[in-house]
Amino acid sequence: MFCPLFLLSLLSYCRYFNCSRFVFVSNFPRLVWLWQMVNCSAVGALYFFFFPHFLSLTFSVSLFLACIFHSLLFFNFCYVVFPSYICLLQFTPGLKTISIFLAFVGPNVKMAEEYASPSSTASQEEEQLKNRNLIIYSMAEEYHTDALTKPPMTLSSFVNIKPSTGSVKKLVIRNFKDKPLMLENYTEETWQKLKEAVQAIQNNISVKYSLEELYQSVENLCSYDLSANLYKQLKQLCENHIKVQIHQFRDDSFLKEMDRCWQNYGRQMIMIRNIFLFLDRTYVFQISMLSSIWDMGLELFKSYIICDQKVQNRTIHGILLLIEKERNGEMVDRSLIQRLLTMLSDLQIYQESFENKFLEETSRFYASEGRKLVQKREVLEIKIVINLFMVHRLSKDIMIQLKQYMQNQDIPGNIDLTVNILTTSFWPAYVPKEIQLPPEMERLKENFKNFYLSKHSGRKLQWQSTLGHCVLRAEFKKGKKELQVSLFQTLVLLMFNEGDQFSLEEIKMTTGVEDRELRRTLQSLACGRARVLIKNPKGKDVESGDRFFCNEEFRHKLFKIKINQIQMKETVEEQTVTTERVFQDRQYQIDAAIVRIMKIRKTLSHNVLLAELYNQLKFTLKPSDLKKRIESLIDRDYMERDKANPNQYKYIA
């Protein structure tokens, strides 16, 4: 230790130092001597702090001589500096490394420039040191005299400077030591150590080596170009381990065993990857054909565990069974299902092996649930809607057959007929109204009746004239129009092909439409927005004795015009009938709500029961109507009154 530090003093304070082709000069005042003594002492203290194990008598003597040498040589005005910094080369025995410490020394420091053209000898030296030496270039320029005005140059930025085409100054650190030869049997011993560690991880036992030691062993093997062989050995070791795991999945509690194996395997592969991280980041990363250590572990688990047909079928069937139980209201371990689905996703077999079967089971489940709901009483409206669609589809088929039938019949006029056949049990009830149709329309009606009864004998047709509508072509002075009107409006308008004006009574006698409906129809034609008729006298209401004329001057910006019926105000009697009919339709829903509440609560007072009903039902009801439904349930033995308290109800199981 004496020699390196003493040579360091010589290196720092020699007058002319030419061995590295550097010439440094100094022009400090003598008063700076005290500062340099303190600086040298601080460097020695730092060395003691970072390397206390080198503290010895020899080192103390060496440091003392260095300080004395520092003082004496300074008075000879010899001071060697790196530009704006002291360059201290510290040689640490046994570590085979060189550290460069740069310490700021203060202002007024200049570096002399060496203007020497590169010679052939220097070029040869650079070529020889290309692979084994570190050459640091510095641009030949004058530095700021005040180092505080220029940011200090770091070592990394200094090393990365490119040599310029002009003169340069070079610091060459020569002759790194050669890579030591590998010890005999080092590869086998190191792999045996790594193998024991991997097997310990796979068997869930503690590893007797530190992770740092194992990581360093992997790095050493990779530095001697043994990465490929190391990767193959690791893959074979993981493959041998996963092959053995297949036997444990043929017992009971299959899904829990699968989940336990997957969780353990994931933790093991993470630890193994941490040990072989240097191999993964250097060798495997550079070869695209190789999978990373983590992906390699997933591929092995997939190949030897999940791709086994029996294991895969049991896994997927077990997951689907748990999902079905959960849908049926049973308690299952949802976290187990989630972890297993994550496993299938990580192994990239979720879509090809599980998703289609899952969707099929889901479709089958909801189809079954739909059938159950349709069969229940509470969803009678759903059955009605389904039958409505079925009837509508049958009507389309019948109309296709009707057109073929009509081609062979004598059809008067240019009239197209479309009939929708409705089933009375699924459609609202309408009061049939007798009307008098024109002869052409009456003949079409008879033709359809003969056709339908020939296909479906024994059925009865009842025409709903209130639901009929027609499209008429009308010719006015301002042009032709198409009028979309109801059947009642059609009967009124067709009368004006036979005459110019008619009274209310004449129209009523010819069409056969009842008085109230006829007044509403005439009001829509003569008092609405599209007034194709003119009423005399004028007014908003149709009265007895009014006469109607065809509006020859009718104009409208549209070619197709829809004339809607006037909605008459509902009378008090009609409102009462409607409310009663709505209540009759809702009575089954009220009964079901009462039974549900009593089945849960077992015993309730009258007021509490009414409060519960108002909370559950989405419509308002009178207390008297609810009392009627409660009495109906008591008569049918769904519930009974408490003998001691008549306001208390009890549920009868």
Mean pLDDT per 10-residue interval, the chain, length 653 residues = 42 38 38 50 52 48 51 41 35 35 35 37 46 39 38 41 50 59 81 89 86 88 86 88 71 76 88 89 87 89 83 87 86 88 89 89 88 66 68 74 73 73 71 82 83 78 84 86 88 87 87 86 85 85 85 86 77 78 84 88 88 83 85 88 87 82
Strands 560-562, 479-486: parallel, antiparallel or unpaired by DSSP? parallel
Give domain status of residue 383, yes or no: no
* Cα Rg of the chain (Å, integer): 52
45 shares its domain with 34: yes
Q: Which of 562, 582, 597 is the last residue of a domain?
A: 562
pLDDT for position 147: 35
pLDDT for position 42: 54
Q: Which of 465, 494, 518 is the last residue of a domain?
A: 465
401 shares its domain with 516: no
CATH number at residue 539: 3.30.230.130
Give domain status of residue 343, yes or no: yes
Overall number of domains in the chain: 5
pLDDT for position 79: 37
Give domain status of residue 425, yes or no: yes
27 shares its domain with 80: yes
194 shares its domain with 93: no
SS3 label, residue 351: helix
DSSP-derived secondary structure letter, 498:
T
Give domain status of residue 178, yes or no: no
Q: Which of 509, 535, 562 is the last residue of a domain?
A: 562
pLDDT for position 173: 59
Give domain status of residue 567, yes or no: no
CA–CA distance, 289 with 298 (Å, rounded to integer): 16
DSSP-derived secondary structure letter, 540:
S
pLDDT for position 425: 67
CA dihedral sign, ordered 83, 86, 91, 96? negative
Q: How would you class 39 by CB atoms within 10 Å of its CB: exposed for 0-12, middle for 13-18, buried for 19 or more?
A: middle
Give domain status of residue 41, yes or no: yes
Helices (H), 245-352: 254-275, 277-279, 285-286, 293-301, 309-327, 334-346
CA distances in angstroms from 226 to 190, 220, 239, listed in the order given: 12, 9, 20
28 shares its domain with 137: yes
pLDDT for position 112: 32
Give domain status of residue 415, yes or no: yes
Q: State the residue for tokens 């996703």.
A: 345
What is the phi-psi region of residue 253: left when phi exceeds 0, alpha when psi lies from -120 to 50, beta otherwise?
left
SS3 label, residue 30: helix
Structure-block tokens of residue 447: 């033709």
Provide the b/e sequence for 52-67 (b: ≥16 CB within 10 Å): eeeeeeebeebbeebb
289 shares its domain with 356: yes
212 shares its domain with 316: yes
pLDDT for position 249: 61
402 shares its domain with 268: no
Candidates 12, 9, 170, 5; CA nearest to 80 is: 12
142 shares its domain with 164: yes
156 shares its domain with 255: no
Domain span at residue 43 reads 2-173
88 shares its domain with 24: yes
CA–CA distance, 153 with 595 (Å, rounded to integer): 88
pLDDT for position 359: 92
138 shares its domain with 37: yes
Identify the bridge partners of residue 173 per DSSP, sorted by sequence position.
134
CA–CA distance, 533 with 251 (Å, rounded to integer): 89
DSSP-derived secondary structure letter, 420:
-
CA dihedral sign, ordered 456, 460, 466, 472? positive
